[in-house]
Homo-oligomer: A and B are copies of this chain.
């Protein structure tokens, strides 16, 4: 069987860790598999290189930053190959460019366009274990070295698994898999043995940090089964896969609860109630290259001929958004811009809710019973998200987890369908 394994920076933080990971890889090879490994930079290497860049230039050009940062995975890939060779197995390391990871030219945040894994395939056919430097590729147009953005080694792994027609892709980290909620908030949270791509996408997009969003999108598009598991144990983790294939499989109503404390809310007060004002506002925000999450529009409290528009965005974009809005304030004629980063988003996710009305009502009732005030609401076909005060995020997660019967010990687990 051909498998792809990805190990994160914490799994290869030092020489000892590298040797431990090497042992695990060799065991997979010895079991008769063809093995391709995607590796991140060792521990804090990326941060140390960023520090070095800062010492030399406060605003390094993205092309040069990519050139610098990609040294990190190159080093860990070579060291891991050495450690595997030291165990008597054959391993060869490749940079992203050598592995055929072709990307767009956006330095620091490139997207994978194509994989041309000729060198990997021939190394595998010679019996070698292949080690690929994650997080990096080569621009299709300029042939310059690119990075895919932080955490994107997961995406490299899934893209390689698809291009190599691997049986599955294993993503190793320091947690046991995907849980119904963050176990640090909900002690009764359970590991989810299997989860569909759509549920995983919604969880990842709404704050679950276990998998990179683009990685899940890639896995869904290419239908690559992904096994999320711990590099510190042999326990099974969570399989992310096409659940529609599971004939007769019963889906739980709610798969899990995600939360996100990295967003902020901006309220534009007193927007004149004229056609096109909202469009003008969001054009200004979009021109500043800012992604918006939720939007709510209300009649303004102060003026019946004006509205208030609220939206959420990443806190890291806050200052940029306020500057962009202040710049158009006079022209559009709104009263004020209010910024609030003391908010959090809690989302209940599950494809089961497609066929079952009443989920929204049950969630809101649970929040009300816990005395939690809902600031904003947004829904998709398989998700309900609310924005609450940051101090009430934990309580909202716990309330939802209990209301949908996800607690490991407590009321019976509720599934959509006949149960199992």
Contact = CB atoms under 8 A, between A and B. Distances in A.
A289 interface: no
A60 interface: yes
Interface string A82-122: 11011000011101001000000000000000000001000
Contact of A85 (B64, B75, B78): B64
Contacts of A67: 74, 77-78, 81, 93, 95
A294 interface: no
Contacts of A19: 56
A79 interface: yes
Given A57-B82, A60-B86, 18 more contacts: A15-B56, A52-B75, A53-B79, A56-B86, A57-B86, A59-B86, A64-B81, A64-B85, A67-B78, A67-B81, A67-B93, A68-B74, A68-B79, A71-B71, A71-B74, A71-B75, A98-B143, A119-B143
Interface in A40-61: 49, 52-53, 55-61
A61 B131 CA distance: 14
A143 B15 CA distance: 28
B57 A78 contact: no
Nearest to A61: B85
Nearest to A66: B78
A257 interface: no
Contacts of A145: 95
A67 B85 CA distance: 14
A78 B53 CA distance: 9
A63 interface: yes
17 contacts: A15-B56, A53-B78, A53-B82, A56-B79, A56-B83, A56-B86, A57-B82, A57-B83, A61-B81, A61-B85, A64-B91, A67-B78, A67-B81, A71-B71, A71-B74, A71-B75, A98-B143
A349 interface: no
Interface of A: 15, 18-19, 49, 52-53, 55-61, 63-65, 67-68, 70-71, 74-75, 77-79, 81-83, 85-86, 91-93, 95, 98, 119, 143, 145
> What is the count of identical protomers in the complex?
2
A79 to B, nearest CB: 5
A58 B70 CA distance: 25
A86 B64 contact: no
Nearest to A93: B67
A122 to B, nearest CB: 11
A97 to B, nearest CB: 8
A333 B56 CA distance: 65
A77 to B, nearest CB: 7
Given A52-B15, A67-B93, A77-B67, A82 B98 contact: no
Nearest to A63: B92
A64 B52 CA distance: 25
Contacts of A75: 49, 52, 68, 71
A133 to B, nearest CB: 9
A59 B74 CA distance: 19
A93 B67 CA distance: 8
A59 to B, nearest CB: 8
B82 A60 contact: yes
Contacts of A56: 15, 18-19, 79, 82-83, 86
A67 B70 CA distance: 12
A19 to B, nearest CB: 7
A218 B85 CA distance: 36
Contacts of A58: 86
Contacts of A57: 82-83, 85-86
Nearest to A71: B71
Contacts of A98: 143
